[in-house]
Structure 1
Amino acid sequence: MDYKIKDIEKTFDGEIIGNLGNNEYEIKINDNKHQIKILKMDSKGIEFVLDQKYHRAKYLENSTNEMNLIIDNVPITINMHTDLDKIVFKHSGGSGTSDSQLTLKSQIPGKVVSIAVKEGDSVKQGDVICTLESMKMQVAIKSHKNGSIKSIKVKIGGTVAKSDIVAEIE
């Protein structure tokens, strides 16, 4: 996924490429591999060791496409991928070619903060079905096709894992 730090022209691409166990991961930033160990993570921030160096990030405020942080006492605004909604939509079943797919799945883990439809409602491709909160960011889960809501598999306040079914749309 592409990220951009405000006031810096260059963007960077970051992804988790492997889980090493014990809260340790191998990540790739641009084309460079790094090891990260999560020491502590909660709704206020995260403490981690990246390539043998300790860091602390405090979350200030977040939206779907922007995150304000203080990392090692330096304020930073990160603009996430400008096509974040399209990416989440695509990975939740919205490729545009799978009209026969009944289930709408979550691409991210999170807490259900709102549900925009009810069983029997008609929806169009791209309509918001529910909103999830993950790491203090809210992400809309959108319909992958036109149809009607057969069933909703989540509840407000409940949590979902990656690939959990959010709704069935026929």
Structure 2
Amino acid sequence: MDYKITDIEKSFEGKIVENLGNNDYVIKINDDEHKLKIINMNSSGIEFILDQKYHKAKYLEQSTNEMNIVVDNIPIVINRHTHFDEVVYKHSGGAGAGNEQLALKSQIPGKVVSIAIAEGDSVKKGDVVCTLESMKMQVSVKAHKDGVVKAIKVKEAATVAKGDVVAEIE
């Protein structure tokens, strides 16, 4: 998985190379191997020793493509999917669809958290139409073209499947 720290134009690939048991691991970050020992891990953070140095990370909040954490008292925003916005846009009907496509479709299954538009509203390409929650993360479904909202096909607190029509935009 690629991770990107905001304002730093460098991504890194991280993976577990070997599980040594007893919460000890050999991990690879880019081309370098490191020794990792997990001391404590729960839903609010993780304490670990990386290459014989103690570190503590606290999870603040996360969305589908960003995670706000504090590592050793330094706040960091990690972009977990550097091209996620383009993927969402493409799968919601934006890429190559032209202006003839009426239906804005959900790119993921989830629960409708909020609806940002109403029938008859004018929207611009990229405006947030609604917000979905999936796997405890929130993702905005954005308009795939400029137009007028003809119909809203979802309600707050309802669940949608991947590919369900969220709204119709003329």
Q: Same fold (TM over 0.5)?
A: yes
Which structure 2 residues correspond to residues 32-111 of structure 1 after superposition, within 5 A?
61-67=61-67, 79-95=79-95, 97-111=97-111
Which structure 2 residues correspond to residues 120-131 of structure 1 after superposition, within 5 A?
120-131=120-131
Equivalent residue number for residue 31 of structure 1: none
Question: 2:162 is paired with a residue of what secondary structure?
Answer: coil
Kept after mapping to 1: 8 A contact 2:4/2:82: no
Equivalent residue number for residue 116 of structure 1: 116
TM-score by length of 2: 0.59
Structure 1 residue 87 displacement after superposition: 1.7
Question: 1:88 is paired with a residue of what secondary structure?
Answer: helix
One-letter code aligned to 1:138: Q
Which structure 2 residues correspond to residues 1-40 of structure 1 after superposition, within 5 A?
2-3=2-3, 11-12=12-13
Distance 1:168 1:2 in 2: 34
Question: 2:126 is paired with a residue of what secondary structure?
Answer: coil
Equivalent residue number for residue 26 of structure 1: none
Kept after mapping to 2: 8 A contact 1:96/1:144: no
Structure 1 residue 159 displacement after superposition: 0.7
Question: 1:145 is paired with a residue of what secondary structure?
Answer: coil
Distance 2:80 2:166 in 1: 24
Kept after mapping to 2: 8 A contact 1:66/1:80: yes
Residues 12 and 107 of structure 1: is their aligned pair in 2 closer, same or farther, counting only changes over 3 Å?
Answer: farther
Structure 1 residue 96 displacement after superposition: 5.1
Equivalent residue number for residue 161 of structure 1: 161
Structure 1 vs Structure 2: percent identity of aligned residues?
A: 68
Question: 1:129 is paired with a residue of what secondary structure?
Answer: strand
Equivalent residue number for residue 54 of structure 1: none
In structure 1, stretches of 5+ residues that fail to align are 14-43, 45-58, 70-76
Structure 1 residue 68 displacement after superposition: 6.7
Q: Residue by residue, what CA displacement relative to the aligned partner does 1:30-69 show, whole Å, maximum 9, x if unpaired? A: xxxxxxxxxxxxxx7xxxxxxxxxxxxxx87312322479
Question: 2:167 is paired with a residue of what secondary structure?
Answer: strand
Structure 1 residue 135 displacement after superposition: 1.0
